[in-house]
């Protein structure tokens, strides 16, 4: 099956996700409008600034269609700010789409100067070895994961890579490393197992 992959390209480092998919032999459509969203089967929500993304989603009417598609089961990979966009509850409070049964605390690991690269312990479902490099930049912390959320990776005691149905969410930036396992998992969830 040929899957049309998209990357929400309103704000943030969406091009890094397109390059990550490119390394796996996939092409990504940059999604900025509801019409472009209709052309994709699976979507990446990149990191960036969550409140800015919410404002931009509201400005062009893309937010309602994005929420509808994800709730209808569109395979989605959310990273960093993308996790905040999907979370059920956000602290400090801000609006979100409320699709992913998580509570998250924004910028919980500190400001940009406290960004770090550290080991993430991953489950067998992710494939490969038990560790993966995690790039944390103003990352949110998952403070609660609902019963339907499977934890696939941890940084210490904190869940940092989770799955709920067709959604994979990473509080770190897998697109900034050479480890392709998170994007490979996303492609497989999207039904694209080939190169």
pLDDT tens digits along 162-185: 999 999 999 999 999 999 999 999
**How many whole angstroms separate alpha carbon 158 and alpha carbon 153?**
9
Mean pLDDT computed over every residue of the chain? 91
Tell me: pLDDT of 145 over 60. Answer: yes
* Whether residue 173 lies in the annotated active site: yes
Q: Point out the catalytic residue in the list 17, 105, 155, 173.
A: 173
Q: Point out the catalytic residue in the list 17, 105, 175, 183.
A: 175
Q: Tell me what the mean pLDDT of segment 88-102 comes to.
A: 95
Tell me: pLDDT of 73 over 90. Answer: yes
Tell me: pLDDT of 194 over 70. Answer: no
The position carrying tokens 């049964």 is 101
Look at the alpha carbons of 71, 37, 174, 186 in this order and tell me if their dihedral is positive or negative. positive
pTM over 0.85? The answer is yes
> DSSP string covering 44-113, please?
EE--S-HHHHHHHHHHTTHHHHHHHHHHTT--EEEETHHHHHHEEEEES-------EEEEEETTTT-SGG
113 pLDDT band (50/70/90 cuts)?
very low
Domains of the chain, CATH where assigned: 5-189 (3.40.50.880)
In this predicted model, what pLDDT tens digit does every residue of 121-134 receive, in sequence order?
999 999 999 999 99
* Whether residue 175 lies in the annotated active site: yes
* Whether residue 49 lies in the annotated active site: no
Q: Tell me what the mean pLDDT of segment 5-33 comes to.
A: 94
What size, in residues, is the chain? 195
Q: Which residues contact 193 (CB under 8 A, 6 or more apart)?
A: 187
Q: Point out the catalytic residue in the list 17, 80, 105, 155.
A: 80
**How many whole angstroms separate alpha carbon 154 and alpha carbon 151?**
8
Tell me: pLDDT of 16 over 70. Answer: yes
Tell me: pLDDT of 110 over 70. Answer: no
């Amino acid at each position: 099956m040929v899957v049309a992959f998209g990357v929400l390209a309103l704000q943030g480092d969406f091009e890094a996700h397109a390059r990550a998919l490119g390394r796996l032999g996939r092409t990504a459509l940059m999604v900025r409008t509801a019409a472009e969203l209709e052309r994709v089967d699976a979507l990446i929500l990149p990191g960036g600034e969550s409140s800015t993304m919410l404002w931009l989603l509201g400005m062009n009417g893309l937010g309602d269609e994005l929420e509808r598609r994800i709730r209808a089961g569109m395979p989605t990979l959310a990273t960093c700010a993308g996790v905040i966009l999907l979370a059920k509850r956000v602290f400090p409070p801000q609006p979100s789409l409320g699709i992913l049964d998580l509570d998250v605390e924004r910028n919980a690991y500190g400001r940009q100067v406290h960004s770090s690269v550290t080991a993430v312990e991953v489950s067998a479902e992710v494939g490969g070895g038990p560790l993966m490099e995690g790039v944390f930049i103003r990352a949110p912390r998952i403070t609660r994961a609902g019963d339907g959320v499977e934890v696939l990776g941890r940084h210490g005691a904190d869940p940092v890579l989770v799955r709920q149905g067709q959604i994979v969410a990473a509080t770190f930036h897998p697109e900034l490393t050479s480890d392709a396992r998170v994007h490979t998992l996303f492609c497989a969830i999207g039904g694209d197992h080939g190169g």
